[in-house]
């Protein structure tokens, strides 16, 4: 017999979110192998869309100078299976997942970990609305894989340059050979950095990170 109060208490301890409808929480953590009357599949369907929406909104508001491609790349880094499996592990959600452990010789597969994160997000949304759903989303973001400094460097440098000089940085990029590029970076007409990379984007991000650190020291 499932101890719904125990599952609910563990989830609240992990996330700080209390479920009014504990049966909905049980549905969100039930894999079909558990031979329960319900499974998380329908909730996972909704949660997938909610996660994509919340992540898109988060990117749109946070990274004001990112283009569509950069926004999509960051969104993918959050909603992909590898990251959601990582979040599942960091939150230790295996404590509350209901499945037939004998059916899985090793640990819980990444596909199930991903599904549970999405189904829980949907269940929170249904149980207590968008405010708590966004709280759950923030927990997902906080426990996601860290993104490299270079990913944000160009955007942050552009914002800093606009704030202090009212102009965007200038990137001069040239090909040095096959799969090798060089970027020289100027801010407000002044040389700040240069870098090499296998692609134009890679060397620009590297140069931006170097310049960003110099600018931050100047205006510290």
| Residues with catalytic roles | 48, 118
* Alpha-carbon gap, residue 133 to 124, rounded angstroms: 6
* Alpha-carbon gap, residue 145 to 137, rounded angstroms: 14
- Asked if residue 59 lies in contact with residue 71, where contact means CB atoms within 8 angstroms, the answer is yes
Torsion region of 155: left, alpha or beta (phi above 0 gives left; psi -120 to 50 gives alpha): alpha
For the CA atoms of 84, 86, 92, 94, the dihedral, rounded to the nearest 10 degrees, stands at 70
* Alpha-carbon gap, residue 38 to 25, rounded angstroms: 11
**How many angstroms separate the Cα of 209 from the Cα of each of 74, 119, 134, 161, 185?**
17, 37, 31, 13, 10
């Amino acid at each position: 017999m499932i101890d719904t109060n125990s599952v609910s208490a563990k989830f609240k301890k992990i996330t700080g979110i209390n479920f009014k409808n504990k049966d909905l929480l049980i549905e969100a953590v039930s894999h079909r192998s558990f031979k329960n009357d319900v499974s998380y599949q329908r909730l996972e369907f909704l949660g997938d869309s909610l996660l994509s929406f919340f992540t898109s909104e988060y990117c749109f508001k946070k990274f004001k100078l990112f283009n569509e491609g950069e926004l999509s790349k960051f969104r993918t880094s959050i909603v992909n299976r590898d990251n959601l499996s990582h979040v599942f592990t960091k939150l230790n959600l295996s404590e509350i997942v209901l499945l037939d452990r004998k059916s899985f010789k090793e640990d819980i597969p990444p596909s199930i970990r991903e599904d549970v994160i999405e189904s829980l997000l949907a269940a929170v949304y249904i149980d207590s609305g968008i405010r708590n759903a966004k709280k759950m989303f923030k927990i997902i973001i906080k426990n996601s894989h860290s993104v490299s400094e270079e990913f944000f460097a160009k955007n942050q440098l552009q914002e800093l340059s606009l704030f202090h000089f009212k102009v965007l940085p200038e990137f001069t990029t040239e090909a040095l050979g096959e799969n090798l590029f060089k970027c020289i970076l100027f801010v407000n007409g002044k040389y700040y950095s240069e870098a090499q990379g296998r692609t134009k984007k890679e060397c620009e991000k590297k140069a931006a990170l170097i310049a960003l650190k110099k600018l931050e020291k100047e205006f510290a």
